[in-house]
C-alpha cells in the first residue's frame, strides 16, 4: 500500500508472505478477523467465557508483567482455538518489577528473565510481548516518568531472547521511535540473529520511520548469507505495523501518512482493549478506519481478508499449545 511519491525500496521477495493471492483474490477469507494485540486478561474472570462467543476468530493476548503470565497461560490452555499467548515485561513495569516479590541473594533487576524463558519454552507458539520503550508515560502513584535505563535494559534483554528463540515480538513504542531505530541499527552492525517478525503495535510514529525500518530489512536481506534459510536462526526479521481504533483513531492524519508507506502485506489489526465484550466492535471499527484512510481503494471485507492472511504469516496458522509444566504457576 505504498502510494507516496517516493516509495520505500521493494521488500526482499523471499520475505513476502507466499499467499498466492492478491487483495482482490483474498475474499476467500471473508469475515475472518485476527486481533493482533489485546489485554483481556485484565477483564473480570467471569467475563472470560465470552471469548468463545466472539466473532473475532483469533486474539493475541498480551502478558505485560510476571503476575499476568499465569493467567495468560491458563486462558491459552482453555481456549487454544481462540487465544495466541504472548509473554513479556511492558516498559511501564520495568522499574516496578525490577525487584522480585521475595528477593534472594544475587538476583538482579532482570530476575524475571529466566521465568519468561520458561513460559516461552512451555508455550512454543507464544510470542514475546508486550515489550518496548515509552518516553512520556508516568507512574500513577509518583507522577514521575518511568525510568528510561530500566526500560532499555528490559527491552534489550527480551529482544535478544526473542532472537535466540526465533519468536515474533510485539513492541510498544511511544515517542521513542528514534531510540528504537538507533537500537536496531546498532544491532544490525553485529547481530547474526533476530526475532522472526517485529510488530510495532498501535503504531504512532512517522512515515519516515516506517521507511527506515523497511529499508533496514532490505539491507539485512542483502547482507544475509546464502545458507541462512537452511538453519534455524532468523537473520532477516519482517517488520509489521499494527493499527487500532482506540489509538490511531485519535490521530487520523498522522496515521494516514504512515499507512501509505506500509505494504499491505505488513499491516495488522488490533483492539488493544482490556474488556472481552468490546473486542468485536473495536475490530470492526479499525477495519472501517483502514478502509477510510488507505490510499488504495479497499472494502472492509478486503481489509479483513488481507490482514487475516498477514496475521497467519506473523503468528503462524496453528493453534497455541501450552503444556502443563509443573514448575510454572498457573
How does the average pLDDT of the chain come out, rounded?
Answer: 87
**Alpha carbon 258 to chain centroid distance?**
17
Q: Can you read off the three cell numbers belonging to residue 209?
A: 520511520
Residue 39: inside a domain: no
Band (295; pLDDT cuts 50, 70, 90): confident
Band (102; pLDDT cuts 50, 70, 90): low
- The predicted structure's pLDDT at residue 321: 72
Which of 92-101, 189-198, 263-272 shows the lowest per-residue confidence on average (mean pLDDT)? 92-101
Contact status, residue 187 vs residue 235, Cβ threshold 8 Å: no
Residue 8: inside a domain: no
Residue 156: inside a domain: yes
Residue 230: inside a domain: no
State what percent of residues in the chain have pLDDT above 90.
Answer: 72
| pLDDT(118) > 80 | yes
- The predicted structure's pLDDT at residue 98: 64
- Tens of pLDDT, residue by residue over 161-219, are 999 999 999 999 999 999 999 999 999 999 989 999 999 999 999 999 999 999 999 99
H-helix or E-strand spanning residue 257: helix 252-259
Cis peptide leading into residue 308 (ω within 30°) = no
Residue 94: inside a domain: yes
Residue 84: inside a domain: yes
Average pLDDT (87-107) is: 77
3-state secondary structure at position 250: coil
162 or 320, which is more confident: 162
Annotated binding site: 37, 39, 130, 172, 201, 272
Number of domains within the chain: 1
3-state secondary structure at position 84: strand
Domain that holds residue 124: 46-99+108-224+235-315
Annotated binding site for a divalent metal cation: 37, 39, 130, 172, 201, 272
- The predicted structure's pLDDT at residue 317: 74
Q: Write down the H helix ranges in the chain.
A: 69-78, 113-122, 148-165, 177-188, 207-223, 245-248, 252-259, 279-293, 300-315
Phi, psi of 277 (to 5 degrees): -65, -15
- The predicted structure's pLDDT at residue 4: 35
Band (319; pLDDT cuts 50, 70, 90): low
Residue 18: inside a domain: no
Residue 178: inside a domain: yes
Average pLDDT (126-146) is: 92
- The predicted structure's pLDDT at residue 95: 82
Average pLDDT (256-280) is: 97
Which CATH number does the domain housing residue 172 bear? 3.20.20.140
- The predicted structure's pLDDT at residue 104: 60
| pLDDT(262) > 90 | yes
**Alpha carbon 127 to chain centroid distance?**
8
In angstroms, the Cα distances linking 216 to 102, 302, 318, 330 are 42, 29, 29, 39
Amino acid at each position: 500500500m505504498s502510494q507516496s511519491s517516493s516509495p520505500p525500496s521493494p521488500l526482499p521477495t523471499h520475505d513476502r508472505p507466499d499467499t498466492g493471492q492478491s487483495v482482490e483474490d483474498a475474499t476467500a477469507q471473508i469475515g475472518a478477523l485476527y486481533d493482533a494485540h489485546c489485554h483481556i486478561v485484565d477483564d473480570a474472570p467471569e467475563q472470560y467465557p465470552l471469548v468463545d462467543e466472539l466473532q473475532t476468530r483469533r486474539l493475541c493476548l498480551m502478558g505485560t508483567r510476571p503476575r499476568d503470565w499465569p493467567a495468560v497461560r491458563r486462558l491459552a490452555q482453555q481456549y487454544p482455538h481462540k487465544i495466541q499467548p504472548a509473554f513479556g515485561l511492558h516498559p511501564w513495569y520495568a522499574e516496578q518489577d525490577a525487584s522480585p516479590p521475595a528477593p534472594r541473594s544475587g538476583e538482579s533487576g532482570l530476575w524475571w528473565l529466566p521465568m519468561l524463558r520458561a513460559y516461552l519454552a512451555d508455550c512454543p507458539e507464544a510470542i514475546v510481548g508486550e515489550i518496548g520503550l515509552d518516553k512520556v508515560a508516568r507512574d500513577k502513584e509518583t507522577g514521575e516518568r518511568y525510568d528510561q535505563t530500566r526500560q532499555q535494559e528490559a527491552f534489550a534483554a527480551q529482544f535478544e531472547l526473542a532472537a535466540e528463540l526465533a519468536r515474533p515480538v510485539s513492541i510498544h513504542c511511544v515517542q521513542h521511535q528514534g531510540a528504537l531505530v538507533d537500537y536496531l541499527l546498532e544491532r544490525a552492525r553485529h547481530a547474526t540473529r533476530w526475532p522472526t517478525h517485529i510488530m510495532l503495535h498501535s503504531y504512532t510514529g512517522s512515515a519516515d520511520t516506517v521507511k527506515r525500518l523497511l529499508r533496514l530489512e532490505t539491507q539485512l536481506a542483502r547482507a544475509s548469507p546464502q545458507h541462512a534459510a537452511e538453519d534455524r536462526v532468523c537473520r532477516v526479521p519482517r517488520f509489521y505495523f499494527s493499527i487500532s481504533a482506540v489509538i490511531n483513531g485519535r490521530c487520523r492524519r498522522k496515521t494516514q501518512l504512515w499507512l501509505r508507506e506500509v505494504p499491505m502485506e505488513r499491516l495488522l489489526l488490533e483492539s488493544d482493549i482490556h474488556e472481552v465484550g468490546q473486542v468485536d466492535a473495536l475490530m470492526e471499527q479499525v477495519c472501517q478506519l483502514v478502509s477510510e484512510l488507505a490510499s488504495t481503494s479497499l472494502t472492509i471485507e478486503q481489509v479483513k481478508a488481507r490482514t487475516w492472511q498477514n496475521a497467519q504469516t506473523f503468528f503462524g496458522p496453528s493453534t497455541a499449545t501450552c503444556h502443563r509444566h509443573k514448575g510454572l504457576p498457573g
